[in-house]
A and B are shown apart, each in its own frame.
Chain A
Amino acid sequence: MIQVVLPAHLRTLAHVGSEISIEVKGPVTQRSVLDAIESTYPMLRGTIRDHVTLERRPFLRFFACQEDLSHEPPDAPLPEAVSSGKEPFMIIGAIAGG
């Protein structure tokens, strides 16, 4: 199971706690993790990546294992510590006021 940390507003929207466990079939990549999140929590579709282009929303970033993975290709494998469930994949709202 993949561990995913969601920002506060998306936890409220999905009615979940700070960390969720997601089952991903096949290679563990940004795309497959996001596909699994959206499949399990349909209300999050469009909130992390654009509905049409499937690009990451500009004010969100993806961190894991103390690295910024926001600009990695969506089909690149995530770190082994993420795919094994030891470290979470973190979806972070950019600090931009509000």
Chain B
Amino acid sequence: MSKVRVLVGTHKGAFVLTSDGKREKWDVSGPHFAGWEIYHLKGSPADPNRLYASQTSGWFGQIIQRSSDGGKTWETPGGGLKPTPGGMPTGESNKFAYDTSAATGKPLTTHQWYDGTQHPWEFKRVWHLEPSLTDPDTVYAGVEDAALFRTTDGATSWQEIAGLRGHGTGPKWQPGAGGLGLHTIILDPSNPQRIFIAISAAGAFRTDDGGATWRPINRGLRSEHIPDPTAETGHCVHHVAMHPKRPGVLFMQKHWDVMRSDDAGDQWREVSGNLPTDFGFVIDVHAHEPETIYVVPIKSDSEHFPIEGKLRVYRSRSGGNEWEPLTKGLPQNDCYVNVLRDAMAVDTLDSCGVYFGTTGGQVYASSDAGDNWSPIVSNLPAVFSVEVQTLQ
């Protein structure tokens, strides 16, 4: 029988929620890594018991954790208790060093600071982990200050894919309120050489050669917070989603505006339609209906909570423009939580499940594609990320 495993990253630890295919009764395990910020954790499509977690702290920096048993036990890859009489240990799973080598790297230049001055690149944390579609030991990591890293040895060592940071527009990238983070990584299942990423606040980028070269894909975006609202880069993209069977179609929740591209990002058009506000963070696609998409509208960039205190998921069955509010089971008064960019996911059961977490510590689930909702848990620390695994 099918099972569902929901991986939740929070402000003070990670939680693993499991249920059978009915999705009515849930077991809750955690907190794992109690007291640490867990920006993201995600399982390998090639080996669902292989999980990776980004564990971070303002005091102690960045740690990567790995599980090989579905989250029951964890290890720091390469960081075990192995005294090395010959010198320092080689395992450094928490080492993310920008590549400035002459052979493969790029000079460590500057990006824009909040006030428009230039600021040196500094590693702060891993925002997003994206395991390879085919190899459990290969994972991509999106980090702050924005860059893309990759491991091919199960997170023991990480190397920067320096072509992205160094391709030339870096001095025009600027941090959003949460920092200059690379938060979205989408691997194209039909083309192993193609990767999409997005950065706040720089925009979306695409490589068609496995990461060697990159180009901005922001044509059609309009952002009033940059001097030229239609500039090539500088846009605060909050999240991008793709249905795996339609890899050329992308959906984007921008700082303001919900956008759609039908040509792998070459051109975008707005599909906000009748949304009550087009500000928000999350966006996702139904597992079986590539034209059914979900957002959670947030009042504004200065008021990060739902309009009128009503938590509403909006669903479009037409790929945008026409939206319907989904409210059954969600609080419709006095609700002032936020739903952060990596905090929505779907399962792939016949009746598609949709899940999202809030900064108020609730994780809501719908086992009928959004028609009805109920909380799995209600009192976790603020939820940073939600990922779902459908297990057979």
Contacts and interface: CB of A to CB of B under 8 A. Distances in A.
B107 to A, nearest CB: 15
B303 to A, nearest CB: 24
B79 A43 contact: yes
B242 to A, nearest CB: 33
Interface in A30-69: 35, 38-48, 50-52, 57, 59-60
Interface in B34-82: 34-36, 57-63, 76, 78-82
A96 B97 contact: no
B95 interface: yes
Interface stretch (B86-94, B215-223, B332-340): B86-94
Contacts of B302: none
A75 B35 CA distance: 33
A93 to B, nearest CB: 5
A39 B82 CA distance: 8
Number of chain A interface residues as a range? 20 to 34
B84 interface: yes
A11 to B, nearest CB: 11
A39 B79 CA distance: 10
B58 A51 contact: no
A47 B97 contact: no
A27 interface: no
Given A39-B89, A40-B83, A45 B59 contact: no
A98 interface: yes
A43 B89 CA distance: 10
B36 A9 contact: yes
Could you tell me the dominant secondary structure of chain B's interface residues? loop
B75 to A, nearest CB: 9
Interface residues of B, number: 28
Contact of A45 (B34, B57, B94): B94
A61 to B, nearest CB: 10
Given A9-B57, A47-B61, A93-B59, A35 B88 contact: yes
B392 to A, nearest CB: 34
A45 B79 contact: yes
A86 B60 CA distance: 27
Contact of B80 (A7, A43, A47, A48): A43
A7 B81 contact: no
B60 to A, nearest CB: 4
A9 B33 CA distance: 9
Interface of B: 34-36, 57-63, 76, 78-84, 87-89, 91-97
Given A43-B93, A60-B59, 9 more contacts: A9-B59, A42-B79, A42-B92, A43-B76, A43-B79, A47-B94, A51-B95, A57-B59, A93-B59
Interface of A: 7-10, 12-13, 15, 35, 38-48, 50-52, 57, 59-60, 93-94, 96, 98
10 closest cross-chain pairs (CB), A and B: A43-B79, A42-B89, A47-B60, A43-B76, A59-B59, A46-B94, A42-B79, A51-B95, A93-B59, A46-B61
18 contacts: A9-B60, A10-B60, A39-B83, A39-B87, A39-B88, A40-B83, A41-B81, A43-B63, A43-B76, A43-B94, A44-B79, A45-B88, A46-B61, A47-B61, A47-B63, A48-B60, A51-B92, A98-B59
